[in-house]
């Protein structure tokens, strides 16, 4: 069961979750997103909340609505999403992480980049 952060709107958290799945290639570009009803049932959310999350993805150019057919992943969505996530990581997360590593006295030699 999904736990939601009370500090953020649920629709945005769901949009972020769905965007992470898109980044992993699920569903593939050109393929339909799960229906509003399916997502609402899976995450135990109001269909209006789900629809708002899908609308947010549409506003970001990741999905498109096909009247009577549902929401589909747009061509180039994965690349667009990856570029946005890389930029966000390098501009926001990486500087914070570097500061924390420096505070802890960790260097590149201390870090293991391979999965254990």
Residue whose entry in the numeric block shows the structure tokens 């992480």: 97
Question: Which domains occur in the chain, in start order?
Answer: 1-106 (1.10.10.10)
Give the pLDDT of residue 116. 59
Q: Which residues of the chain have pLDDT under 50?
A: none
C-alpha torsion 98→102→108→114, nearest 10: -60
pTM for the complete prediction?
A: 0.84
Residues whose CB falls within 8 Å of the CB of residue 35, separated by 6 or more in sequence, listed in order:
70
CA dihedral 87, 90, 93, 99 (to 10 degrees): -160
């Amino acid at each position: 069961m999904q736990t939601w952060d009370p500090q953020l709107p649920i629709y945005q958290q769901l949009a972020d979750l769905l965007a992470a799945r898109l980044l992993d290639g699920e569903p593939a570009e050109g393929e339909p997103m799960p229906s509003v009803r399916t997502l609402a049932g899976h995450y135990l959310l109001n269909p209006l909340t789900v629809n708002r999350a899908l609308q947010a993805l549409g506003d970001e150019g990741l999905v498109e609505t096909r009247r009577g057919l549902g929401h589909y992943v747009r061509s180039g969505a994965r690349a667009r999403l990856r570029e946005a996530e890389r930029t966000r990581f390098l501009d926001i997360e990486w500087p914070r992480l570097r500061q924390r590593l420096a505070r802890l006295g960790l260097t590149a030699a201390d870090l293991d980049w391979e999965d254990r």
